[in-house]
Amino acid sequence: MKKRCVITGLGIICPVGNDVKESWDSIQAGKSGLGVVKSIDTEGCYANLGGEVFCDELPAPQYDRSARLCIKAAEEAISDAGLSEQSAGEAGVIVGSCIGGAVSIDEYLTAQKEGKEDDSRIPNMAASSIANSAAAYLGLNGVTANIVNACAAGTMSIAYACDLIRSGSGDIFLAGGTDPFSSLAFAGFHALHALSEEPCSPLNHSHGITLGEGSGILVVEEYEHAVARGAKIYCEVAGYGVNCDAYHITAPDPSGEGQMDVIRRALSSAEVTPSEIAYVNAHGTGTAKNDEAEFLSLHTIFDGTDVSVSSTKSMTGHCLGAAGAVEAVFTVKAVSEDILPPTIGYSEEDKVTLKEKAGDLDFVANDSRKKEIPMAMSNSFAFGGTNASIIFAKEAKQHEEAPKEKLYITGFGQVLSAKEDPSAKVATVALDMKDFTDRGVKLGVFRKLDKFSQLQLISGIDALKSADVTVSEENERRIGTIIGTSAGPVTEVSNFQKNICEKGATAGSAFTFPNTVYNAAGGHFSIFTKTKGYCATVANGTQAGLQSVAYACDVLEKGNEDIMLAAGTDEGSDMVTFFYEHSKINGENVLGEGSSTIVLETADSAKRRGAHTYAEVAGYACTHSAGKADYTEAQAMKDAISKALAKAGYQASDIDSVYAVISNQDKKQAAESAVLTEVFGAKEIRDVREQTGDCRAASANAQLVEAAKAIDGGSVKHTLAVSYGCGSYTAVVLKECE
């Protein structure tokens, strides 16, 4: 039978409370946490409301506010789950975020403007730092990842934790989302004119959103493991779905097609019908376009059922990357206590209008109430077109474990810098309009892309062409994308934030703001290619370019997709170079940039298409070290290699060639080199950075391309690639195709 995943602990900090009890009591009472913004300057803005957290006991002041909120919620979740120190130490951390370390960027640039530079804030700027910071502070050594798919990220993190449990990558995960109130997000949504002047009124007046902040963390645990330690079980994760609209970078498809598909994916995953869902915690942002599309989706799927619907954002505001996780906590509480949380803010006149819009659907207006809730759904829809839906149940249906298919590499695309001048500090990729027109990209599309998205679009298009994949209405929902990055669109984020620091919150650009979210590159790629399957962006240091391959393999094994593109992408620029020099984390390497995308495909799909297969993915593994003395990063690297080899059924002596992208820091580099020598002896260790410069996530992905080429060329039969980043390691074993 397929492994079951249960929720054994909850933690939350949000505008309506600093813990689960306070927050849930407020939600049941219909208490709003929205008020006049105090943490940023809103002078000159047409709106000035927000949902802020006021807590004098936030831990870990050395980290960004996003990580501090996450750690606060995680501490409560660990305590609530009754995890021992040993069990907690083995737990992984999967955290969703939209804006990452935007507060640290703001603090740094503001201090710089005042002549008080503080380089200690630089390592906290990237979203890659969040899960690693939480793991380091709490001493958690399981697999880590930062899912950065904007407002769907919190929900996706819980789903990914379940996938990792079912793939055997761990028994316990702290999963959820976190995002702070920031001038970047406020100025961006203000520029889009998407903020409401009054407290947001989702599924009601729909005049705009009110931003919130916070973190929700759930302990997701393998059922047998939870039972063995006598854990209390709130409920079970019955099913989930993730997809992409491939419609618009900021607006939902008005047809609701993508939303309906992701809801159906979740229902199919849980093997239930719409009539079995008793409650839906709607995405319910309060914007007209989002609410209209969601009403349409809910009517199409749930008309004729006894479902109840509400949006708790009416009280918390939109907590961005934390939203799905905060709402997951409330949905779990709803299921475990049989209480429907309300949407507040309806007048008697509004209720009349609501009845017209809701029809037979039971919208919970103003007051919470009791109802038996054996099963509930929570929905999240995001910038970039990402959609996620998850189902919680008192007791889920049991599923047979599907047989695992062989997975092949059937194509790849790359655009990488060339390390031509050893004395240069940076190697860049020069792109012009012809690079895009040659690939069918029109000027109107090109103008919307930042450099990060440009790199990804080119390598992704070339990868599909290399694999001879033609996207059509028949297969568009069976093709997905996982993009790994170390720093994301750092130039766009920094320039946007710098402008705000200099000119105020009214200076945000509606044109550039959409590209400040990490998953914009994936969104642009999906929109251009019309790929509508699973779509995720993972930020986790250099190794994210290889972790994307492991993530994509887990998605393929679940069975919804036939083809997954796994990428590594990172840009280089004056801003990136400046940050790397000041943070002293790039060593002596020439800083490069680029994107590398690998096409992964099930054996059945490859056979049907008559695809050329370069290599088979024989095994893969991800590990993490929190940096504590009892589990060093060198040991985590060794474990990643040994676990990948074990999954492939090989010994180290079976490997013909090794590709490694290791740390740039002298001490770690020496330890990692010693591990490679210990495991593989005198075998040559290849490093693509010698040709390209340090392209970070792109380098990690590119080394697997080189490994696949070597197998396809017949020079070797078995290869292994390994990469480091943010305390994490991923190792992938390839073998020749049979």
* Residues labelled catalytic: 151, 283, 318
Closest CA to 454 of 592, 569, 598: 569
Distance between CA 707 and CA 709 in Å, rounded? 5
Helix axes 697-712, 544-558, angle to 10 degrees: 60
Q: In this structure, are residues 48 and 42 in contact, taking their beta carbons and an 8 Å threshold?
A: yes
Distance between CA 711 and CA 615 in Å, rounded? 6
Mapped onto helix, strand or coil, the DSSP state of residue 480 is strand
Closest CA to 165 of 670, 554, 474: 554
Q: In this structure, are residues 258 and 248 in contact, taking their beta carbons and an 8 Å threshold?
A: no
In 245-290, beta strands by DSSP E: 279-281
56 CB neighbour count, 10 Å cutoff: 5
Buried b or exposed e, range 165-188, using 16+ CB within 10 angstroms: bbbebbbbbbbbbbbbbbbbbbbb
Buried b or exposed e, range 319-350, using 16+ CB within 10 angstroms: bbbbbbbbbbbbbbbbbbeebbbbbbbbeeee
Distance between CA 312 and CA 681 in Å, rounded? 57
Distances (CA, A) of 129 to 64, 65, 84, 357, 518: 9, 11, 25, 43, 14
**Residue 687 CB-density burial (10 A; 0-12 exposed, 13-18 middle, 19+ buried):** middle
Helix H or strand E segment including 375:
strand 375-381
Distance between CA 373 and CA 337 in Å, rounded? 8
As beta bridge partners, residue 339 has 370
Q: List phi, psi (to 5°) of 6.
A: -125, 160
Residues near 488 by Cβ (< 8 Å), separated by ≥ 6?
Answer: 100, 126, 127, 148, 452, 518, 537, 539
Helix H or strand E segment including 358:
helix 348-358
Q: Which tokens hold the place of 405?
A: 């298919």
Distance between CA 151 and CA 475 in Å, rounded? 26
Distance between CA 318 and CA 362 in Å, rounded? 23
Q: In this structure, are residues 99 and 177 in contact, taking their beta carbons and an 8 Å threshold?
A: no
Q: Which tokens hold the place of 702?
A: 């590119």
Helix H or strand E segment including 172:
strand 172-179
Helix H or strand E segment including 94:
strand 92-96
Closest CA to 596 of 523, 713, 519, 688: 688
